[in-house]
């Protein structure tokens, strides 16, 4: 039987580097199998991602002019160009590209479009006789819990009491919430994100309207959640595999090589708290003081706390002098993947974004889970700490959600202590998960299965 002809796939991710990059990683996996990719990207951002295109003969970039919206800096295109408070205006600007996208789709005629936050896209593609797939760069657990809960509630506004109880048939018992998390998750239903639309609705309308839904993940880890979503929403759910970045020729900056090589293997704590959403000052200080309290050398990549322009002005008095030679607080972008690969790094304190979790799992450093307030971060932390037991979550106050320097120190010491019983269990489970994720045929078989299911949409 002849192999089916390659597909022509258009990629239209949300205008954030944390979405554009994994979409391009997936594009490389699909191009390797002969599929043609048309990648829609803000025009001034193109140069930042060009080097990741491993198949320029099959992956073509289509620069998108992002309209200016009142309140945005001139030439702002992605979330990395603006402070967190202005991110909803990037969504407004993206929505204003709809007519241009329609013209482009009519011109290039793809068979299917992958999207995430563009809730209006499925209606547009349906009118053009093009399939749509909402490809969510997260693991499916958040959609399985909150998306299915909303779907089954038939449009009712969900309260914290509603969210406390998993939706009927949810395939897991490990998801438990703090009281402050329940309040937050209920409030996010009404966070405006662009003109006339709430953040949750952007995703939920897309999930409801698309021809299919896709996630990062594999059946062995995420299958029960994917199957549940498929049942509740009544449409195909495709898992692309972990979509690990391909090795590049990029090397770690010399300043980090020089600093890290001064410490024993597995002795450094690396803390990276995401590129968006800074901490309040009190939590910023507790995190740094907790790192100091461990007694381990540490490298913390953090944004300045809310209300501060720089890291330096927010540091505790005398802190730099106390940590000199054994600690660094760094306020700019850092080569996280390469830092995690360095043998001196023994512990990774993460905000629990899906990409960071994966990068931590495929390396030998141990995970300390400190989720930000975001549904996917919270659920990733619970699944990794309670279900798979591959990391230790930092304790927080039930009502206020605050962590302390002592709770940060405690979690780091557990995973770094060879004699600690919990630490031993976590390290053993992490090693098993790492071996599984890096097994030779896992990702290849996942992407092959993903492609086969794409053909079934036609």
Q: Edge-to-edge strands of the sheet including 345-350?
A: 327-330, 298-301, 268-272, 345-350, 366-369, 391-393
CA 165 from centroid of its chain's CA atoms:
25
- The single-letter DSSP state of residue 220 is H
Distance CA 126, CA 128 (A): 5
C-alpha R_g of the chain: 22
Cβ(84)–Cβ(278) below 8 Å: yes
Q: Is 317 exposed, middle or buried (0-12, 13-18, 19+ CB in 10 A)?
A: exposed
From the list 271, 325, 327, the residue with the least C-alpha distance to 303 is: 271
Cβ(331)–Cβ(355) below 8 Å: no
Distance CA 216, CA 139 (A): 5
Report residue 348 as tokens.
Answer: 């990774």
Distance CA 306, CA 314 (A): 10
Residues with catalytic roles: 19, 116
Q: What is the DSSP string of 336-392?
A: HHHHHHSTTEEEEEE---HHHHHHHHTSSSEEEE---SSHHHHHHHHIIIIIS--EE
Distance CA 178, CA 189 (A): 18
Distance CA 423, CA 419 (A): 8
Cβ count near 309 (within 10 Å): 9
């Amino acid at each position: 039987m002849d192999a089916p002809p390659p597909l022509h796939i258009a990629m239209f991710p949300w205008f954030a580097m944390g979405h554009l990059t994994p979409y391009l990683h997936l594009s490389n996996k699909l191009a390797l199998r002969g599929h043609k990719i048309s990648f829609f990207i803000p025009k001034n951002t193109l140069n930042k991602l060009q080097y990741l295109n491993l198949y320029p003969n099959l992956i073509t970039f289509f620069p998108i002019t992002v309209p200016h919206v009142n309140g945005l800096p001139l030439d702002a295109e992605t979330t990395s160009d603006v402070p967190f408070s202005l991110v909803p205006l990037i969504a407004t600007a993206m929505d204003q590209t709809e007519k241009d996208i329609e013209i482009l789709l009519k011109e290039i005629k793809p068979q299917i479009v992958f999207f995430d936050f563009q809730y209006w896209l499925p209606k547009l593609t349906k009118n053009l006789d093009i399939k749509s797939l909402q490809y969510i760069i997260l693991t499916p657990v958040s959609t399985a819990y909150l998306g299915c809960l909303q779907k089954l509630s038939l449009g009712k506004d969900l309260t914290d009491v509603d969210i406390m109880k998993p939706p009927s048939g949810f395939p897991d018992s490990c998801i438990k919430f703090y009281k402050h998390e329940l309040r937050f998750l209920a409030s996010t239903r009404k966070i405006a994100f662009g003109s006339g639309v709430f953040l949750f609705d952007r995703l939920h309308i897309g999930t409801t309207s698309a021809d299919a839904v896709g996630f990062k993940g594999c059946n062995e880890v995420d299958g029960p959640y994917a199957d549940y979503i498929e049942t509740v929403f009544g449409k195909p759910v495709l898992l692309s595999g972990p979509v690990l970045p391909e090795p590049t020729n990029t090397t770690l900056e010399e300043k980090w090589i020089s600093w890290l090589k001064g410490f024993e293997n597995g002795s450094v704590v690396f803390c990276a708290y995401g590129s968006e959403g800074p901490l309040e000052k009190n939590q910023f200080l507790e995190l740094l003081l907790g790192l100091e309290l461990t007694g381990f050398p540490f490298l913390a990549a953090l944004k300045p706390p809310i209300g501060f322009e720089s890291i330096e002005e927010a540091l505790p008095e005398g802190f730099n002098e106390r940590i000199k030679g054994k600690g660094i607080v760094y306020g700019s972008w850092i080569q996280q993947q390469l830092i995690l690969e360095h043998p001196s790094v023994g512990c990774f304190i993460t905000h629990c974004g899906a990409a960071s979790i994966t990068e931590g799992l495929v390396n030998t450093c141990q995970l300390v889970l400190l989720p930000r307030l975001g549904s996917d971060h919270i659920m990733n932390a619970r699944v990794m700490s309670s279900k798979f037991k591959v990391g230790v979550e930092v304790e927080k106050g039930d009502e206020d959600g605050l962590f302390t320097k002592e709770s940060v120190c405690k979690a780091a010491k557990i995973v770094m202590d060879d004699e600690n019983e919990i630490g031993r269990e976590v390290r053993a489970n992490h090693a098993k998960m790492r071996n599984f994720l890096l097994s030779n045929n896992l990702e290849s078989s996942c992407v092959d299965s993903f492609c086969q299911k794409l053909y079934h949409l036609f």
